[in-house]
Homo-oligomer: A and B are copies of this chain.
Amino acid sequence: MTTTEIIRCAKDASRYVARADTEQKNEALCKMAEALIADTDAIMAANRLDVEAAKGKISDVMIDRLMLSPERIAGMAKGILDAVALPDPVGRVLAETTRQETLRIKKVSVPLGVVAIIYESRPNVTSDAASLAIKSGNACVLRCGKEAHASAEAIVRAIGKGLEAAGLPRDSVVLVEDTSRESATEMMKARGLIDLLIPRGGAGLIRSCVENATVPCIETGTGICHVYVDRDADLDKALKIVNNAKTSRPSVCNAEEVLVVHEDVAAEFLPRLEKLLVDDRKREGMIPVELRCDERSLPYIKSGVAAGERDFDTEFLDYVLAVKTVSSVEEAVAHIGAHSTGHSDAIVTENGANAEYFVQSVDSAAVYVNASTRFTDGGEFGLGCEMGISTQKLHARGPMGLEELTSYKYIITGDGNIR
Contacts and interface: CB of A to CB of B under 8 A. Distances in A.
Interface of A: 15, 18-19, 95, 97, 99, 103, 105, 107, 112-113, 191, 195-196, 210-211, 214, 216, 218, 234, 236-237, 240-241, 243-245, 248, 355, 359-361, 363-372, 374-376, 380-382, 392-395, 397-398, 407-419
Nearest to A377: B419
Nearest to A370: B414
Given A372-B419, A419-B375, A412 B248 contact: no
A416 B240 contact: yes
**Among all A-B residue pairs, the 4 with the closest Cβ atoms:** A371-B414, A237-B416, A244-B418, A393-B407
Given A367-B410, A416-B234, A418-B244, A191 B214 contact: no
B411 A359 contact: yes
A394 B397 contact: no
21 contacts: A15-B361, A19-B361, A99-B382, A105-B381, A113-B363, A113-B393, A191-B210, A195-B394, A196-B393, A210-B214, A237-B415, A240-B418, A241-B416, A355-B413, A366-B410, A367-B410, A369-B413, A370-B417, A371-B413, A371-B415, A374-B419
Contacts of A243: 418
Number of copies of this protein chain within its complex: 2
A180 B165 CA distance: 58
Contacts of A245: 418
B99 A418 contact: no
Contact of A409 (B191, B240, B366, B392): B366
